């Protein structure tokens, strides 16, 4: 397994380490996932998300390449702006969801999921035909910490001269934190105020940033948090998890990602197939599920039944710590996608009812 530069720091804090995306990463610390979840919702926590991948697209045709390979309209970006998007196969199925950063007119950075770095890189290289660009994979050189929670801005502001209050949501600035050059990005996957810090360097720089965050955030009870609460936090807001809610068997429209699918921008990978889906109408849809049976938690992979017949599948499910109840996401036929529809979920040979509810859950 690969190790991030913060690996020993996690272990010194008695983190429970697991394999994820080829890396050894903390899933939780001694106080537990629910504690960490509430810490991010109420105060501030630090995630090590260095496993994410970063690709640079540079050159005269940088925008044209990004427009072909992603489904959102990157022409709407300006320097310092970030965009949530996805990459699709010609079939319209999703290769990955990602962030697109416009560094300058001829320089974009694509931030992809850690589990898909090799696949995504291969797809980018395969699509680099006829473009005057240079592709660079910097995934192994860039460290990434996500500082999330209501007190994240106050924490980071102590050790940077950049006025963080002027950075809008899904925007970034180049600056310094604790003396280290970095991208200060007002992004994150928790639904809370937060920043993601992209920087390079060795252990000296990593320790300066890590220790600086703990020093600056001490008055706000800052603590490190793991992948476990990252999953529960994103589920409460119904943010997609690749490999669960979206993959190469799903198209953006049925996954509820029509808002980032810009067919009007012109031809891009998957645009014809997605347009056909839109014209013909969806056959299934990703919906929120509220179990009506006490103490039942829908889990990824559980089958959904309608009138005794298998009709869909649960993609994500967990306890929702903020609301103190279990919730789930799953694909159901359009006949049962309306809010208030009732389905059954099979688990361990038993059937549990669930109601289709409005999303996000909070």
SS3 content of the chain, % helix, strand, coil (to 5): 25, 35, 40
Mean per-residue pLDDT for 93-102? 98
Domains 2-50+141-235 and 53-135 share a fold: no
Report the share of the chain in percent with pLDDT over 90: 98
User: Across the chain, what does the average pLDDT equal?
Assistant: 97
Could you write out the DSSP letters of every residue in 253-314?
TTTT-GGG--GGG---TTHHHHHHHHHH--SEEEEEEEE-STT----TT-EEEETTEEEEEE
Omega prior to 360 cis, within 30 of 0: yes
Q: For the CA atoms of 295, 297, 302, 308, what is the dihedral angle to 10 degrees? A: 40
Q: Would you state the pLDDT for residue 327?
A: 96
Do 321 and 291 form a contact (C-beta atoms < 8 A)?
A: no
Alpha-carbon distance of 323 to 360, in angstroms, equals 12
pLDDT in tens, 23-58: 999 999 999 999 999 999 999 999 999 999 999 999
pLDDT band at 86; cut points 50, 70, 90: very high
Mean per-residue pLDDT for 294-315? 96
Do 184 and 228 form a contact (C-beta atoms < 8 A)?
A: no
Range in 98-102, 321-325, 344-348 the model is least confident about: 321-325
| Owner of token pair 């005057």 | 132
**CATH architecture classification, 53-135:** 2-Layer Sandwich (3.30)
Q: Would you state the pLDDT for residue 29?
A: 98
Indicate whether 261 pLDDT > 90: yes
Backbone φ and ψ for 100, nearest 5 degrees, come out as -115, 120
What dotted CATH number matches 2-50+141-235?
3.30.1360.120
Alpha-carbon distance of 82 to 260, in angstroms, equals 13
Do 206 and 143 form a contact (C-beta atoms < 8 A)?
A: yes
- How many residues comprise the chain? 362
Do 40 and 46 form a contact (C-beta atoms < 8 A)?
A: no
Backbone φ and ψ for 146, nearest 5 degrees, come out as -105, 115
> Domain map of the chain by residue range?
2-50+141-235, 53-135, 283-362
Do 357 and 292 form a contact (C-beta atoms < 8 A)?
A: no
Mean per-residue pLDDT for 88-101? 98
Q: Which residues pair with 48 in a beta bridge?
A: 145
Alpha-carbon distance of 205 to 183, in angstroms, equals 14
pLDDT band at 102; cut points 50, 70, 90: very high
pTM attached to this predicted model: 0.96
pLDDT in tens, 196-208: 999 999 999 999 9
Indicate whether 307 pLDDT > 90: yes
CA-nearest of 203, 242, 233 to 3 is 203
| Owner of token pair 């990978």 | 269
Rg (CA), the chain: 21
**DSSP summary character for residue 166:** G
What dotted CATH number matches 283-362?
2.40.30.110
pLDDT in tens, 110-163: 999 999 999 999 999 999 999 999 999 999 999 999 999 999 999 999 999 999
pLDDT band at 17; cut points 50, 70, 90: very high
Q: What angle do CA 177, 14, 190 make, to 5 degrees?
A: 50
Indicate whether 293 pLDDT > 90: no
Alpha-carbon distance of 162 to 159, in angstroms, equals 9
Q: Which residues pair with 98 in a beta bridge?
A: 85, 112
Q: Which token pair is 253?
A: 């429209």
């Amino acid at each position: 397994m690969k190790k991030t530069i913060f690996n020993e720091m996690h272990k010194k804090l008695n983190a429970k380490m697991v394999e994820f995306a080829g890396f050894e990463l903390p899933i939780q610390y001694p106080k537990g996932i629910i504690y960490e979840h509430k810490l991010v919702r109420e105060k501030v926590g630090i995630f090590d998300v260095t496993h994410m991948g970063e690709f640079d697209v540079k050159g005269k045709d940088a925008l044209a390449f990004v427009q072909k390979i992603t489904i959102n309209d990157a022409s709407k970006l300006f320097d310092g702006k970030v965009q949530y998007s996805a990459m699709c196969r010609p079939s319209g199925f999703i290769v990955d969801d990602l962030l697109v950063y416009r560094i300058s007119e001829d320089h974009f950075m694509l931030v992809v999921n850690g589990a898909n770095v090799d696949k995504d890189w291969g797809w980018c290289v395969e699509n680099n035909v006829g473009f005057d660009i240079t592709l660079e994979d910097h995934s192994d050189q860039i460290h990434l910490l996500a500082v999330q929670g209501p007190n994240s801005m106050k924490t980071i502001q102590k050790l940077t001269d950049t006025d963080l209050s002027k950075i809008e949501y899904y925007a970034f600035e180049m600056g310094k934190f604790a003396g280290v050059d970095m991208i200060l990005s007002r992004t994150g996957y928790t639904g809370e105020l937060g920043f993601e810090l992209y920087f390079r360097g060795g252990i000296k720089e990593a320790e300066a940033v890590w220790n600086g965050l703990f020093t600056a955030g001490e008055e706000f009870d800052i603590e490190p948090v793991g992948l476990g609460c990252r999953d529960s936090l994103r589920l409460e807001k119904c943010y997609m998890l690749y490999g669960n809610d979206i993959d190469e068997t799903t198209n953006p429209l049925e996954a509820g990602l029509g808002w980032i699918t810009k067919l009007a921008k012109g031809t891009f990978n998957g645009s014809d197939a997605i347009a056909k889906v839109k014209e013909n109408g969806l056959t299934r849809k990703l919906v929120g599920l509220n179990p009506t049976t006490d103490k039942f938690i829908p889990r990824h992979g559980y089958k959904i039944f309608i009138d005794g017949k298998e009709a869909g599948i649960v993609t994500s499910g967990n306890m929702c710590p903020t609301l103190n109840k279990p919730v789930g996401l799953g694909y159901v036929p359009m006949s049962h996608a309306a809010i208030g529809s009732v389905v059954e979920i099979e688990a361990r040979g038993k059937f549990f009812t669930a109601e289709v509810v409005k999303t996000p859950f909070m």
